[in-house]
Structure 1
Amino acid sequence: MKLYVALSIALMCLTGGVNAQQQKETLLIGVFHFNNPGADLAKSEDFDVMSKKSQQELAQITDHIRKFRPDKIFVEWDYNDQMALDTLYDLYQKDAYFDYVQTKFPKSKFYLQNEIFQLAFRAGKKAGLQKIHAIDYQMDWPYDSLQSAIKKAGQTTLQQEIDAQIKQVGEEDNALRKKLSLTQLLLEKNTAANRNANLGLYITLLNKGGALHDFTGADVVNAWYKRNLYMYSLVQKLTEAKDERVMIVVGAGHAAVFKHFIDMDQRSKVVELSEVLKN
């Protein structure tokens, strides 16, 4: 009992000390993948980020980000491949990037359209940053095992609910892509409702997949949270004491989890894209 009280007092003192520190502002931008690789559960139609209108919007968005003055920018690129990202960003700063990738990867939409190059690189150059930081951490996501466990457990209704929600998300996303601009789509991806719906699929449906003593569903949710914890750990480790503002550009699903992490992180606070675009 004495140990518990002492530990509680110590934690209270620690929390007070942390709260007294100035919180770092984190511009969290959840995106749809501009090059649309089709890797998400919900399938979406292409959106032309290379159109004149979208390019003008990206220029305007990054002008606002320059005023936010991020000290560091983090992106969804394999953290073990930082050297390759450095090479590409160096080419971008020299205005040689797009000529290089169109010659090197003529059939790849990724290097031309992905948000890392269209949004993060553009923002980084305008902010005068010499480096863009990679934070992605790839690991197996056993979704196929979950479907097998659901089938084995006879959870037909659960599987139907999962399929229906994934289909609905895809249909709603496609409808928005037809009527909204790029800026409007990004703002929509970063609403509280969108983030909560994204997280809700994991807890409401996937987590209960499997028979009574089969925790495959929880393992799937755990793997998703674990990947995001690793990614956010890299953000924390790469953020220095002198940094006052950072920016994170990741898929909207990652951003939904990151928002939860940042809200609990006493040294950081979220700044929304909508706030930055108002300034």
Structure 2
Amino acid sequence: MNRVFCFLSALLIATSVYAQPIPKIKILLLGTFHFGETGDKGSVSFNDLFSAKRQQELQQLTNQLARLKPDKIFIENEPSQQAHWDSLYGQYRTGNLDTTSTAMRNEIFQIALRTARKAGLPRVFCVDHHQPLPYDKIAAFDQRVSKDSVALRKMATYKLLSLAYPYPGKTKKLASSTLSDYLRYVNSAEYDAGNRADYFIYAPTSGYDNDYTGVEFITSWYDRNAKIFTNILRQAEPTDKFHIVLFGSSHMLPLRHYFQMHPYFEVIELMDVLK
């Protein structure tokens, strides 16, 4: 009888523990443009980054982000670069860093490190996974089929893939916007629609019959971001309450999907933060 009682008691305790809801970590997916240090297509001309006006805007932005009291900030650099950013951040915290140098012309320093220092964080976390998209394979496919009349006739039968591009061009310019306004735009549904074009409009046109060159492009992008997502999960802790993920805006489409599917995260919209 005692054994049965002990077993039932242990079962009830275990059940009550597992029945307790686990608080979700709020996660702000802060899509950004690259401030100029990188040469990829996400770069935007930001010649006045170090002007008094832009630095005041960055001061206001990072104040707002720091007030969210993030437990961790995740950045678009690979884990192999963690020591580099730890060193820079250490110099920055002690006032031993030239904050106007060319090396500081990037969103990691201007947003992530500044916010981290104001929030009292010991570091920012490098969670990127570098994985170039197979643009070369799409280019090779296009070149090959341009000389293949049979392939061109076959592809012409895919009527939906021939429809016109449905989204407008960029409607807001950084030069005529405050930084916060431009970041709101970069994180808007309108802007995100344009980001989707490469993956859901252009890529599927590369291929016919059993050739799925464009699909390889799409899956490569989702594969890279799944690895970024996993790198974030590896650094997250159940006691965390708030995370900020600072990546190029085109990453937000797959990352948003991954975090929305995860039971322990709640995605926070930038529009609700930068009011």
8 Å contact kept, 1:73–1:133: yes
The CA distance in 1 between the partners of 2:270 and 2:176, in whole Å, is 20
| Partner residue in 2 for 1:76 | 76
CA contact (8 A) 2:36 2:44 kept: no
Per the alignment, in what secondary structure is the counterpart of residue 255 of structure 2?
helix
CA–CA distance in 2 between the matches of 1:214 and 1:199?
A: 22
Cα contact 1:18–1:266 (8 A) shared by 2 = no
Q: What letter corresponds to residue 26 of structure 2 in structure 1? A: E
What secondary structure, in the 3-state scheme, does the structure 2 residue paired with 1:225 have? helix
* 1:211 lines up with 2:203 in the alignment: no
- Alignment of 1:151 with 2:152, yes or no, is no
1:90, CA displacement in angstroms? Answer: 0.8
| Among candidates 131, 135, 140, match of residue 127 of structure 2 | 135
Q: What percent of counterpart residues are identical?
A: 28
Gaps of 5+ in 1: 1-16, 103-108
Structure 2 unaligned segments of length 5 or more: list them.
1-17, 147-151
Determine the structure 2 residue equivalent to 1:112. 104
More deviation, 111-120/190-199: 190-199
Q: After TM superposition, which residue ranges in structure 1, 4 or more long, deviate above 3 angstroms?
A: 17-20, 42-47, 154-158
- RMSD of aligned residue pairs (Cα, Å): 2.7
Which structure has the greater CA radius of gyration?
2
CA contact (8 A) 2:66 2:115 kept: yes
**CA offsets, 1:75-126, max 9 Å, x none?**
0011122111111111111121226x84xxxxxx3x2210000000000000
Structure 1 counterpart of 2:12: none
Which residue number in structure 2 is paired with residue 253 of structure 1? 250
Alignment CA distance shift 1:46-1:60 (3 Å): closer
State how far apart, in whole Å, the 2-side matches of 1:143 and 1:117 are.
29
Asked if the contact 1:207–1:218 (Cα under 8 Å) also holds between the matched residues in 2, the reply is yes
Q: Is the 8 A contact 1:49 1:182 kept in 2?
A: no
1:19 is displaced (CA, Å) by 10
Partner of 2:92: 92
Compute the displacement of 1:38 (Å).
3.2
Supply the distance in 1 between the matched residues of 2:136 and 2:19 (Cα, whole angstroms): 42
Q: What is the deviation of 1:200?
A: 3.5
Decide whether aligned partners of structure 1 residues 84 and 246 sit closer, same or farther in structure 2, where only a CA change above 3 A counts. same
- The number of aligned residues is 246
* Contact 2:33 2:43 (C-alpha < 8 Å) held by counterparts: no
- Cα distance in 2, alignment partners of residues 83 and 257 from structure 1: 27
- Give a deviation string over 1:130-165, Cα, whole Å, max 9, x none: 01100111123210211221232346989xx99x96
